[in-house]
């Protein structure tokens, strides 16, 4: 991380958005290595570019959540996040106007990002602590600038999942759930890429509420712009499976598998999800031989142990192995 004096930090940054816009494009096309390389080179020239510094954090968080490698990278990620947070807290002391609001927003999102990864690792106490800090700061941002739509995402997600996880508590009211959804919907009007993050969060909320048609439409709106984005393609594949549209599920899963295999490194989490949809859909369509062949193919791959420890990957691989045994009589047909 590059640090610098206040004079450099808040001086004029020439054409800074060119680098950030290019990095954002690489981010949503899931080229995380390319995005980080571009930002690293940019920050060497313009160490005071707050947006570029924040994007180095956002890209790393997105990569870890995309690959679901949070168990292995937890300590390194938290150390990186904390170092970036400290820099922004120092910059906040001398920031004014828009710079001040942006610093607050970036600090809040770093707290929130740390909390998400901690939750993924089962560290719920620290996860909630970081989430509360994040939401508290995001509310400050919202109060200063009600049109700062990106701030509504973290607030909305927190309120929605708080109400769902602790609805048995007397002070957690049902209204919080609806408030959370409305806040996430408001974040859809945020600038790119926060609107895409809001769409991802809203998709999963809608899926939980069995509003599959709207979730599918939302995912498709992203794929219309970025056809090879596996995050939203995976959502569509799962929705097709869960709603009984098995031929469409097979189509999406086949594409998800192909895209996951060609990524460097391979996205094993997406790959296993794709094969799970494929095996399940073929089985539901009574295409037992195809279901067996798909199960045989993925079980024959050397999946790194760290991915096999991810709860849903472990569950999916157990399902695939069970289906392989169920359809083993079709192996020679």
Does the pLDDT of residue 11 top 60, yes or no? no
Does the pLDDT of residue 173 top 70, yes or no? no
Q: DSSP for 285-331?
A: TT-HHHHHHHHHHHHTS---HHHHTSHHHHHHHHHHHHHHHHTGGGT
Per-residue pLDDT band for 58 (boundaries 50, 70, 90) equals very high
How far is the C-alpha of 286 from the C-alpha of 295, rounded, in Å? Answer: 15
pLDDT at 222 (0 to 100): 94
Q: What is the pLDDT of residues 178-223, one digit of tens each?
A: 899 999 999 999 998 899 999 999 999 999 999 999 999 999 999 9
pLDDT at 300 (0 to 100): 95
Per-residue pLDDT band for 110 (boundaries 50, 70, 90) equals very high
pLDDT at 14 (0 to 100): 39
Does the pLDDT of residue 333 top 80, yes or no? no
pLDDT at 254 (0 to 100): 98
What is the chain's mean pLDDT, rounded? 89
Does the pLDDT of residue 154 top 90, yes or no? yes
Does the pLDDT of residue 281 top 90, yes or no? yes
pLDDT at 37 (0 to 100): 96
The sign of the CA dihedral 280, 223, 106, 69 is positive
Percent of the chain predicted with pLDDT > 70: 91
How far is the C-alpha of 51 from the C-alpha of 21, rounded, in Å? Answer: 10
Whole-structure pTM value: 0.88
Mean pLDDT of 279-300: 96
Per-residue pLDDT band for 165 (boundaries 50, 70, 90) equals low
Mean pLDDT of 43-63: 94
pLDDT at 224 (0 to 100): 94
Mean pLDDT of 28-45: 94
CA within 13 Å, CB half, 251: 7
């Amino acid at each position: 991380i590059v640090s610098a004096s206040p004079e450099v930090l808040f001086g004029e940054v020439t054409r800074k958005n060119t680098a950030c816009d290019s990095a954002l494009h690489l981010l949503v096309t899931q080229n995380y290595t390319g995005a980080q390389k571009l930002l690293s080179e940019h920050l060497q020239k313009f160490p005071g570019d707050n947006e570029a510094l924040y994007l180095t954090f956002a890209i790393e968080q997105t990569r870890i959540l995309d690959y679901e490698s949070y168990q292995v990278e937890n300590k390194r990620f938290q150390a990186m996040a904390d170092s970036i947070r400290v820099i922004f807290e120092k910059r906040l002391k001398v920031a004014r106007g828009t710079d001040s609001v942006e610093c607050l927003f970036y600090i809040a999102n770093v707290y929130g990002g740390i909390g998400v990864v901690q939750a993924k690792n089962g560290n719920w106490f620290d996860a909630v602590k970081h989430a509360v800090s994040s939401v508290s700061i995001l509310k400050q941002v919202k109060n200063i600038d009600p049109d700062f739509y990106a701030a509504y995402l973290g607030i909305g997600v927190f309120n929605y999942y708080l109400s769902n996880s602790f609805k048995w508590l007397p002070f957690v009211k049902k209204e919080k759930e609806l408030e959370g959804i409305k806040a996430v919907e408001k974040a859809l009007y945020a600038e790119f890429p926060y609107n895409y993050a809001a769409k991802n969060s809203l998709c999963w909320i809608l899926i939980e509420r069995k509003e599959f048609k709207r979730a599918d439409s939302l995912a498709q709106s992203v794929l219309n712009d970025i056809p090879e984005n596996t995050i939203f393609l995976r959502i569509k594949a799962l929705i097709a499976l869960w709603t009984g549209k098995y031929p469409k599920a097979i189509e999406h899963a086949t594409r998800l598998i192909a895209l996951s295999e060609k990524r460097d490194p391979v996205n094993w989490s997406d790959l296993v999800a794709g094969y799970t949809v494929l095996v399940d859909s073929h089985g539901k369509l009574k295409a037992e031989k195809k279901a067996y062949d798909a199960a045989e193919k993925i079980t024959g791959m050397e999946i790194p142990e760290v991915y096999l420890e991810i709860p849903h990957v472990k569950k999916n691989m157990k399902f695939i192995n069970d289906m392989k045994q169920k359809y083993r009589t079709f192996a020679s047909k």
